[in-house]
């Protein structure tokens, strides 16, 4: 569960990294917007401890979250659902129906349909 950080904790995270964004290795300047980023996302088993927290520019953190973290979290959830058998079985068309793509002629031969 994500918790909000106190100002003191944010300062500790910032000073521990020397004011360097851990995503682009750029200096975070005075007055620039920044966020506390988790090295390993909480949803992927990361801890909510100071050793997993790093400062990141606001734009760098947003890009990292949308391009890397969210797809990885979604994939982990899909894999877990499949692992425990929670996914719905894929429906197959009824044999001989129009959706099956096959039809049987009067002489008994089977052909692809429609051509």
The answer, yes or no, to whether the previous bond of 93 is cis (omega within 30 of 0) is no
* Boundaries of every domain in the chain: 7-112
Instruction: Kindly report the pTM of this predicted structure.
Output: 0.69
Q: What is the mean pLDDT of residues 77-86?
A: 93
Q: Does the pLDDT at position 2 exceed 80?
A: no
Q: Read off the pLDDT band of 95 (50, 70, 90).
A: confident
The reported pLDDT for the residue numbered 67 is: 95
Q: What is the mean pLDDT of residues 3-16?
A: 91
CATH of domain 7-112: 1.10.30
The reported pLDDT for the residue numbered 53 is: 94
Asked if residues 48 and 3 have their Cβ atoms less than 8 Å apart, the reply is: yes
pLDDT single digits (tens) 54-66: 999 999 999 999 9
């Amino acid at each position: 569960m994500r918790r909000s950080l106190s100002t003191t904790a944010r300062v500790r995270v910032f000073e521990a990294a020397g004011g360097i964004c851990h995503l682009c290795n750029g200096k975070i300047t005075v007055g620039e917007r920044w966020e506390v980023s988790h090295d390993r996302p909480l949803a992927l088993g990361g801890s909510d401890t100071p050793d997993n927290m790093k400062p990141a520019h606001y734009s760098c953190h947003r890009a990292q979250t949308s391009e890397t973290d969210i797809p990885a979290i979604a994939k982990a959830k899909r894999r877990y659902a499949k692992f425990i058998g929670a996914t719905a079985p894929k429906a197959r068309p009824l044999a001989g129906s129009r959706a099956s793509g096959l039809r049987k002629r009067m002489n008994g031969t089977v052909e692809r349909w429609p051509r």
